[in-house]
Amino acid sequence: MLNDRERFFRSAASVRAAVIHSDKRRDLALIQVRSVPTEGVALTLAPESFSPAQRVHIVGMAGWYSGGLWGYRTGCVRQMVPMTVGEGAPVRVVQSDAEVNPGASGAPVVNGRGQLAAVVFAYHKKARSVSTFLDVQEVRQYLAEALPLATPASAEHYVRRRMRHVEEGRLGSAVSDFTAAIRMGPSSLDAYISRAWAFLAKGDPRTAKADLQRSLELDPQNVLALGGQGIALHRLGEYDAATAASTAFIQLHLREPVAYFQRGLSQLEMDRPELAEADFTQAIRPDPDEAASFARRAEARKQQDRIEGAINDYQMALQLAPNNDAYLNELGCCRYLLGQYKQGAEAFVKAWQLNAGDPHYLFNLGEALFELEQFDLAAKAYTEAIKLNESDSDFYNSRGVAQLRLERYQEAVADLTRAIQLDPEEALYYDNCAMALEELGQTEAANRDRATAAELDAEQFAIEEYTQEDEGEGDEDQIAQQLFGTWIFAGATETDRVEWTLRFSPNGWFQSRLATIPPTGEPRWAAETGTWKVEGQTLMMQIDERGSFLRSFEFRGDKLWIEFEEIGKVVGFARG
């Protein structure tokens, strides 16, 4: 017996093989080799099992510790017992005092006549000289199940073997077997359907669609073909046709939740959130333990601006799948939309802890921290997101705005310039950069960026000049024209100093930046966005989602007057 390890690996030729079948209960696999060495001798199966005290002989991997390649060991049978060695019900095993080591799994265990009577399975680390072998009866039963699949003699055998391939993830082998089955039986409905599902699993919906169409020609009401067709058409972007296929499926099987779920997905893609929500609800009723149905219904509700309902559904989905980082992130986004920034940040942190490789979780965390006015922490979150994805312009823009709030104007300009380089068509980046440049006193550069922003997005960023000729006009539109631009603090207070920048756009959008600065301590910053309108001489500003105007400023000539509750002062702002 050749036992020179170096010589063996230097001279032995490799033999390619394919897994034909595997049995998770017995932990055995049937492997088909392309060729068998001519000098090899096949072992015959022992006609009967071992008996207690009978001697066993093992030839197997010696282990790297020995310096050799093969090792021989012997021992006696201790007992025959049922035992779980894989997944499922117990199988018959042999326990022996023959010592085995790592690398010996799968080695033949032979009797005194050289017949295979067992296969090495494992050894016990916490027991003395106790090794476990799979009994020959289990080997014989397994071969009876698996050998017909090694050389299929009919389309049915190919289909059966394919099922094993699919179950164990060998999709390429599965497709080959189904193709062979179709050649043997061109009208084999099962083969067409099964091959289509294999193509779907491989991510090839176009080829799957052709097989499913052939299946429906053979049986127009086959539910497996209709269900597969709905999935294939959806993945191909043919959402109307996908919806029709899912509807046909539902008409045949009214209580099948997967059909409602699939149709709901197509409805979402066609921007029909109300219909999608109804379908996901139908999917949930008979199957309330499927987290994906709750998550998708949450998505449909979110599209309808029913954020609280979406939150409830994401919470249900997380009860069923507590470690799903995507659901946690979406829950955080919904919290953010409701202004629940602290709870949103907590959800984003949990999502990131589960999947530290997704930069969007860190970005979303930064957005929530920004709204909580924790600008330094927000900047750090954006920085970690940028480390994971250096090509996302929004990441740099958000960090730049955070740097602006922290009065790190040079860093803000650097970030916002990088955002512009990555996406030179985004007006907001130029506008933000203009603000940072103004803080550095670079007025000319700021004006250029602001002009570029107005050119790219005239509705949001256009600024019209205010002139004395406009002052005093009673017409509402004329008063509105006077408000375009930036307004700055124009009065003094006894204790606290107030700085406020308020910028308006012609389409009724505003953005403000406010700080109350006490004689000692840190400034208290606040930022708001919303919509505005003018009623007579009063400026009305809406900053919530309920449609009510929460602030009103008196407009007199070229000044706005507002009472700041936090300092108890009435302050005038002049056009800047």
Number of domains comprising the chain: 3
Q: Is residue 43 part of a domain?
A: yes
**In a shared domain, residues 92 and 203:** no
**In a shared domain, residues 522 and 537:** yes
CATH code (residue 548):
2.40.128.20
Q: Is the alpha carbon torsion for 100, 104, 106, 111 positive or negative? A: negative
CATH code (residue 170):
1.25.40.10
**In a shared domain, residues 142 and 161:** no
pLDDT tier at 191, thresholds 50, 70, 90? confident
pLDDT of 331: 97
| Mean pLDDT, range 371-398, rounded to an integer | 95
Last residue of a domain, one of 253, 271, 287: 253
pLDDT of 566: 46
Q: Is residue 232 part of a domain?
A: yes
pLDDT of 177: 58
Q: Is residue 499 part of a domain?
A: yes
Choice between 253 and 557, residue whose per-residue pLDDT is larger? 253
In the block, residue with structure tokens 């920034």: 341
For residue 480, pLDDT over 50 is answered with no
| CA–CA gap between residue 416 and residue 393 (Å, rounded) | 9
Q: Is residue 302 part of a domain?
A: no
Q: Is residue 325 part of a domain?
A: no
**In a shared domain, residues 120 and 181:** no
pLDDT of 250: 87
Choice between 508 and 166, residue whose per-residue pLDDT is larger? 508
Q: Is residue 99 part of a domain?
A: yes
In the block, residue with structure tokens 């302050």: 571
**In a shared domain, residues 127 and 42:** yes
**In a shared domain, residues 201 and 79:** no
For residue 443, pLDDT over 80 is answered with yes
pLDDT of 526: 63
Could you tell me what percent of the chain has a pLDDT over 90? 41
Q: Is residue 309 part of a domain?
A: no
**In a shared domain, residues 206 and 132:** no
| CA–CA gap between residue 506 and residue 466 (Å, rounded) | 13
Reading the block at residue 188, the tokens are 């084999």
Least confident segment among 50-54, 83-87, 100-104, 384-388: 100-104
| Mean pLDDT, range 155-170, rounded to an integer | 51
pLDDT of 551: 63
Last residue of a domain, one of 102, 125, 147: 147
**In a shared domain, residues 35 and 139:** yes
398 phi/psi in degrees, rounded to 5: -65, -40
**In a shared domain, residues 95 and 192:** no
Last residue of a domain, one of 147, 181, 205: 147
CATH code (residue 47):
2.40.10.10
For residue 4, pLDDT over 80 is answered with no
Q: Tell me how far the alpha carbon of residue 356 is from its chain's centroid.
A: 12
CB 32 within 8 A of CB 17: yes
**In a shared domain, residues 80 and 170:** no
13: which residues sit within 8 A by CB, 6+ positions away? none
For residue 47, pLDDT over 70 is answered with yes
Give the global pTM.
0.56
**In a shared domain, residues 139 and 208:** no
Q: Is residue 540 part of a domain?
A: yes
Residue 563, domain extent:
468-575
**In a shared domain, residues 61 and 92:** yes
pLDDT tier at 197, thresholds 50, 70, 90? confident
Choice between 253 and 309, residue whose per-residue pLDDT is larger? 309
| Mean pLDDT, range 122-149, rounded to an integer | 84
